Structure 1
Amino acid sequence: MQRRFFEIFGESADSGEARSWRNSIPTVVERLTAAGLGGVQVLLEMSSPLTDIRMDMVLVGSRPGDGRMSVVLVENKQWSRVAPASDSELVRPGNSRTGMLKVHPVNQVWGYRQALLDFIPLLRDADVFCIVNMHNADRAVLNPITPSAQQLSEVGEMRGFARMYGHGEERFFERALREFLSAENADTYAQELIDAPVAPTEPLMSAVSSGVRNRSVFTLLDEQREAYDYVKSRVAKSKKSDHKEVVLIVGGPGTGKSVIALELLDWIGRNGHRAVHATGSKAFTVTLRTKADAKSSRTRQIYQYFNNFSGAAPNDLDAVIADEAHRLRSAGHRSNEQESPQVEELIRAARVPVFLLDEYQRVRPSEVGSVELITKTAEAMGIGVHTIDLRHQFRCGGSPEFLSWTERLLGLDDDGNPPEPWRPQSGFELHVASSPSAMEEYLRARLDEGYSSRIAAGFCWPWNKPRPDGTLIPDVVIGDWRHPWNAKSDHPLEGAPSSSLWATDDGGFDQVGCIYTAQGFEYDYAGVLIGPDLVWNGTGWAANRSANMDTSIKRAPDFDLLVRHTYRVLATRGLRGAVLYSTDPETNRFLTEDLGVPVL
């Protein structure tokens, strides 16, 4: 397994993971063989669809009696002690007072089941079961964390599909395996599962349009679920004991921050608590209002802006969910320079202020949101802070490699690693276009296939007002290729959606978006025009202030960093692929010849 792990991932498994394999896998194999199921196929460390999360064991065979494909997901835990966390679906392994909070293992494996059913159509005609293998813990330890004892929210749905067994319960484990599996057609079914196509994930705003206010439409996995359950527990605790706590949820593009925010908003509202979603992005908030019900006054109350909280009464809300909190502004963001900083206003307004942010998405000098700022502000106000790190990537077709590659390319890697050659990834396409026309042709073909796609650019071209007849001027000119920027207007113009809806309206493809209309959104394929404000000079990136038309950042002391943040955001909007084109020939040559990105 260690050799195979290195072949697939290019790095060694850590010692804890190898120890888990050694200690846990044999306990399941022993149960299979004792149950007479030695012919069942066992897939180890299989990736969950569209993510880099790996499931411990996937057992594949057929359902006894009818021969249909049957799959059992096994989550192995080496915990010998574990206790429920009060007012929560979370658990504490080890010491019940000081142990780190973890996702309930049944919720964890149940999330994997939901993801498989959501994204692998093959399994919708199969039986999919879940088992948590707690081989070091006896029944006395497990009783307090059984789904019914801990009142897990999905306990009704889980009944019959999810089981948990501990030390001394080997016979029950074997009985369940015989109930769920036979070895008939196991080889065939296992290969079909390995080869099964994965359905593309639904873009966030499409899912919101499907009814986020009426039902849960997102599957939350691992750290996502941990964040969701933790905030729920803090809201419940605040109602019982007047408790106040700040929650920080930190993660890069595609880690599901906005998904968590909207799922929390839905749960809090359905359970009779008061919560508001807030951002610093007009485009994001307007789009959420439009998808939910733009004409409703309640919708406008629920989806607000960071600058709406100056007059809020302390703890008037049960929760305020500050999405895209890297866009928080400093004091003096209004005309009155004596105003409090936005972060203070948001913390003051709710019992559980939740901040979701990615510090590498700060693209204007006035944006000050950071882990350090929020933490120091909360501590100065005498309020505790709990931070959750979302390390898994859920965008880029399940290719965290693309985000890592982009960060190394732009010199934003935390470890200072240099750019590296591109390694083609399953489920994600990366190209360098030979011209803007080639980019447009490729992306329009994806559009014709039913996928969403957009072209966005660095702010390196003038931006004129529309003509008197409402048509847009083609300001973005590269050779003989000419296209207009997205409309500046809040209202649709001739064939162009309003600026706030550029990323989600069908008419947005014919205009070039900018950082302010692309940030916070996602589409299947992202085209990125890299302007002369950032070029590769043979040894590194050179940022050129004079080539940038954005007056808000061109004078910033950290212009070089902000412009690299901008291109990172634009490149990581695509769920299934990205196409890059630089106006600088040397930069394109570097991407294609030195880094091996294929050319369109």
Structure 2
Amino acid sequence: MIVYDGLKTDFLSSCENDSIAIEIEENILSKLGRHTPKAEFRSWENSLNYMYKVLNDDAIPSDAGVAIEFNIPQTSKRVDFMVSGYGADSDPEMVIIELKQWETLNEVAGTDALVDTFTGGANRRVVHPSYQAWSYAQLIRDYNASVQDRRVNLSPCACLHNYIRHENDPIDAEQYEEYIKEAPAYTKGQLPELRNFIKKSIKKGDNKEILYLVDHGKIRPSKSLQNTIGSMLKGNREFVMIDEQKVAYEEILRLSLKSQKDFKKRTIIVQGGPGTGKTVIAVNLLAELTQRDQMVQYVSKNSAPRQVYLKKLKGQMKKSSVDNMFKGSGTYTEAGNNVAHTLLVDEAHRLNEKSGMFHNLGENQIKEIIHAAFCSVFFIDESQRVTMDDIGSVAEIEHWAKEEGSEIHYLELQSQFRCNGSDGYLAWLDDVLDIRETANYDLEGVDYDIRICDSPNEMRELVIERNKVSNRARVLAGYCWEWIKAGQNDTNCHDIKIGDFEMSWNLGNGEPFAVSDTSINEVGCIHTSQGLEFDYVGVIVGDDIRYENGQVITDFTKRARTDQSLKGIKKLYKESPEVAQARADEIIKNTYRTLMTRGMKGCYIYCTDAGMKKYLVSRLEHIKNEARNNRQN
């Protein structure tokens, strides 16, 4: 949907009459039903008056189309400014311009597309404007049938009209070169260059014909996108399905294709514990449904699994349209009904009610996801809810599915392929952490390398040794140590200190923690490891869980202040101590259960609480004694 469209002459006239921002504001209210914040209104006035100067050139056809705030279907993303027309050979052309009011930015070392800048009232880490412009153009190419069929050429660029560029400017850092080449970034004083960029594409006017084509284009994945993700998955051993994973995959595929044909809304709830292959199924469905002409996306609340699985698919490739297929769960706050064919929601237990940095956007992520898709698939493990904001549950999904008039289907994954395929280890862990009573008091017959270490250094050395094989071992910890903001990108800034043991939390820049070659030097937390797997993990159990007076207890006061998982627990405790304690108990125990099930082959544990260590040792000693007695008998 386009908020404002007109000819170049209409746009220039509105700017001269100082009415362009008012017209956009009125259109947003009538078309989207929302009021415009003053800051956004001012940004239109500033940026669009600049674009008035850019377009005020007789060489740019007076009947060229101008569109402002084009909402890309199936997303909440909006293209700031578009100019349409025909090229020298009468080929349809569209210039996409991402407008920024930024005055400064800093490069983020170790990344290929992120920058730090002041926006939205604070310094934030966001994507480079050239990457943003390129990704929007690529999204339109990949899913707009009119662009594909009419072969509309899209030329993206960025315009930072307040930004003064210097020699060796961070905006031009080497890591951004590939995106600047695809979408040039024009800064203050480069108005003639931006004007020439437009004139190079737009030679003849189109009376908004191309704008109409793009705005009314049907949704269909391009053949190039289908081939790209298909080739990425082919032969990738990370995503091979076995046994009941394949069964679940085929059933979800059947139901999704049925929705594609009969246009009925379906919600599929897939329950499965750690290592049952939920993500493997989701990624395979992402590829297959895309090749079946569906608009389909992989969704997760946490960015860590999205980054890691995207990296595993792309390999060494930096730039790919597949990037647009991996979305955060807050993407759908303003999405229309059934704008996507299928949404595959991984780690659905981590979904939140509200979205956005300040948790003030939307109504309910589960509702919005079901509303946005014909078929929504929720992969869920309720025992992995680890923050106060996590609302993902089977009951919550059922509630909103019924509200949206959706059929509900259930699948369950039982065989797990983590922890050496041992369901016994998971049951033992539940019993040990007092999450639920199970028959697995010990680990008899379980082929899994679990050890309780006497020191954190011993644990670290075991992990380092295991990591030498294939970079698939990591140190993890409960969030009981402050994450020092000033040192978040410095591995020598040691947040975690236990006697002579010192390590840094995972760094805030560079590659994802799970795949980076240097992550063995840092400690991962729940937020960077949940939804992922390693061969071996070392887990530091902090003072937030202890063994006292013959029982496992939790203590939320020992969690770090920088951890947002238990935000609001102190207020809740004052209002209702029992409710707060029960909620904190669930979150803390689920956190350690999740951390201790990240290793496929082994888990090495160090406890800061002597009582907890003694308790875990006794549980393991019981195993050895039972095994010895069995041999003697």
What does residue 299 of structure 1 align with?
322
Indicate conservation of the 8 Å contact 1:276/1:321, yes or no.
yes
Change in 2 beyond 3 A, CA 1:517/1:257? same
SS of the residue aligned with 1:262? helix
Please give the alpha-carbon distance, in whole angstroms, between the structure 2 residues aligned to 1:219 and 1:213: 9
Alignment correspondent of 1:118? none
| Residues 211, 480 of structure 1: alpha-carbon distance in 2 compared, 3 angstrom cutoff | farther
The aligned counterpart of 1:150 is none
Q: Secondary structure at the match of 1:259?
A: helix
Residues 1:473 and 2:484 aligned together: no
Identity of aligned residues (%): 30
Decide which structure has greater helix share: 2
Q: 1:318 to 1:362 in 2, by over 3 A?
A: same
2:422 is aligned, of 399, 404, 416, to 399
The structure with more radius of gyration: 2
1:262 to 264, 278, 283: 283
Residues 1:317 and 1:397: Cα distance change in structure 2 (over 3 Å): same
Q: Distance in 1 between matches of 2:272 and 2:621?
A: 28
1:566 counterpart residue number: 591
User: 8 Å contact 1:431–1:598 — kept in the other structure?
Assistant: no
Q: Among residues 484, 488, 511, which one is paired with 2:522 in the alignment?
A: 511
**Contact (CA 8 Å) 2:387, 2:564: kept in 1 or not?**
no
- CA deviations 1:505-540 (Å, max 9, x no partner) are 111111111111111111100111000000011421
Matched-pair contact (CA < 8 Å) for 2:534–2:600: yes
Contact 1:411 1:419 in 2 (8 A): no
CA drift of 1:479 comes to: 1.3
CA distance in 2, matches of 1:521, 1:320: 20
Gaps of 5+ in 2: 1-227, 570-579, 625-633
2:384 maps to what in 1?
A: 361
Cα pair 1:465 1:472 within 8 Å, conserved: no
Residue pair 1:430, 1:598 contacting (<8 A) in 2 also: no
TM-fit CA distance, 1:481: 0.8
Matched ranges for 1:24-35 at <5 A: none
CA distance 1:338–1:471, change in 2 (3 Å)? closer
> 2:221 maps to which residue?
none
Within 1, Cα distance between the matches of 2:257 and 2:380?
Answer: 24
Residue aligned with 1:254, SS: coil
Distance in 2 between the 1:543 and 1:210 partners? Answer: 46
CA shift in 2, pair 1:470/1:528, >3 Å: closer
The alpha-carbon deviation at position 402 of structure 1 amounts to 1.0
How far 1:300 moved relative to its partner?
A: 2.6
Kindly indicate whether residue 566 of structure 2 is the aligned counterpart of residue 553 of structure 1. Answer: yes
User: Which amino acid counterpart does residue 611 of structure 2 have in structure 1?
Assistant: E
Q: Give the drift of 1:379.
A: 0.9
Q: Is 520-529 or 587-596 further displaced after alignment?
A: 587-596
Gaps of 5+ in 1: 1-207, 493-497
2:544 partner letter: D
For the pair 1:577 / 2:590, whether they are aligned, the reply is no
- 1:238 is the counterpart of 2:259: yes
CA distance in 2, matches of 1:273, 1:412: 41
Paired amino acid for 2:265? K
- Quote the residue 1:346 is aligned against: 369
Q: How does 1:172-571 map to 2 (within 5 A)?
A: 212-215=232-235, 217=237, 218-293=239-314, 295-296=318-319, 298-331=321-354, 337=360, 339-413=362-436, 416-417=437-438, 420-423=441-444, 425-426=446-447, 428-450=448-470, 452-467=472-487, 470-487=490-507, 489=508, 491-492=509-510, 498=511, 501-549=512-560, 550-553=563-566, 555-556=568-569, 557=580, 558-571=583-596
How has the CA–CA distance of structure 1 residues 471 and 581 changed in structure 2, closer, same or farther, with 3 Å as cutoff?
A: closer
TM-score, reference length from structure 2 = 0.57
Deviation at 1:360, TM superposition (A): 0.8
Distance 1:536 1:404 in 2: 19
**Cα distance 1:216–1:228, how it changes in 2: closer, same or farther (>3 A)?**
farther
Output the CA distance in 2 between the equivalents of 1:469 and 1:250: 37
Equivalenced residues, count: 380
Contact 1:432 1:598 in 2 (8 A): no
The alpha-carbon deviation at position 393 of structure 1 amounts to: 1.2
In structure 2, how many angstroms separate the alpha carbons of the residues matched to 1:292 and 1:381? 33
What are the Cα deviations for residues 239-262 of structure 1, in whole angstroms up to 9, with x where unaligned?
A: 322222101101110111001101
Distance 1:524 1:579 in 2: 12
Quote the Cα distance in structure 1 between the aligned partners of 2:271 and 2:488. Answer: 45
